[in-house]
Amino acid sequence: MRPEDYPVQEPFSAIGERYHAEVMRLGADVEGTDIALGDDAYQSVAVYRAEKPAGPVLCLIHGGGWTNGYKEWMAFMAPALTAQGITVVSFGYRLAPVHVYPAQFDDCAKAIAWTWRHIAEFGGDPEQIHVAGHSAGGHLSALLALRTDWQTAHDVPTNVIKSALPISGTYLFGEGSGLSMRPRFLGDPELGNEAPASPLTHIRADAPPFLIAFGSKDFPHLITQARNFAEKLAAMGVRTETLELEDCDHLEASYASGEPNGAWVRAAVAHVRNFEPKTTGKTG
């Protein structure tokens, strides 16, 4: 789909406009298969087939502050991954402020369930699903991997996500988060969504492995959050790696994730090829 095919979203900020232009340029020639998952155009996925499927599937979730973005933003990441035998699925989700938490999470959970049921049709292995994302997408990917209260509703295995690879994500909302503004996707403060939406709230010893990336010149509060999140995961015995993307700011950390010979692609490919699931149970 093209951005003009979607319902109008919030106007871009200056940084958002710059990012939108660049990632659409980078992914302009990348073609995928669009699949609708709901009545809202944002409830959809795009599948990018691997040249020679090797099994692993990497689901990508776009950023945009939960108020902006398109699944097409992640298209530029696909070629470097599909060339390595990784099947790529990019998720769309409903946006704030029209839709507040947990709408974004619920849409991504539904997309994971679709991937598990249908990715074999595209050459991927449903037993090798990993999830990644940038910024707001990094937050959602981490939350999907840690929360254990959505799999039963979607009738998927409890360990359907084999690992998470968030990039420049937010892992804590509310007091101590360092955020200068309260994200609008959290909705009315009376809803109390800060804790439920915070991946740090859901850390568990049997969580899947994490590869946590951030730019060396990223927003300071995101660097602090990433390091703290990694420390808390490791303290619980979760296999955790961090990757500091040299000389990258918040946007450049995303662009770097599409570089075929870049640090993130090398680390991500090695990560998804060497995961060790910690759980084997399925929902009843």
Distance CA 111, CA 154 (A): 10
Asked whether 57 and 275 are in contact (CB, 8 A), the reply is no
At position 94, the amino acid (one-letter code) is R
Q: What is the SS3 assignment for 30?
A: coil
Distance CA 46, CA 23 (A): 16
Give the Å distances, CA to CA, from 190 to 182, 226, 228. 13, 27, 27
Asked whether 85 and 49 are in contact (CB, 8 A), the reply is no
250 annotated active-site: yes
Closest alpha carbon to 64 in 55, 56, 74: 74
202 annotated active-site: no
Tokens of 34: 């669009």
Active-site residue, from 99, 130, 250, 271: 250
End-to-end C-alpha distance for the chain, whole angstroms: 37
Active-site residue, from 218, 254, 257, 271: 218
Tell me the angle at which helices 103-118 and 136-146 cross, rounded to the nearest 10 degrees.
70
Cα 201 off chain centre by: 18
Active-site residue, from 44, 90, 135, 257: 135
Residues annotated catalytic, as ranges: 135, 218, 250
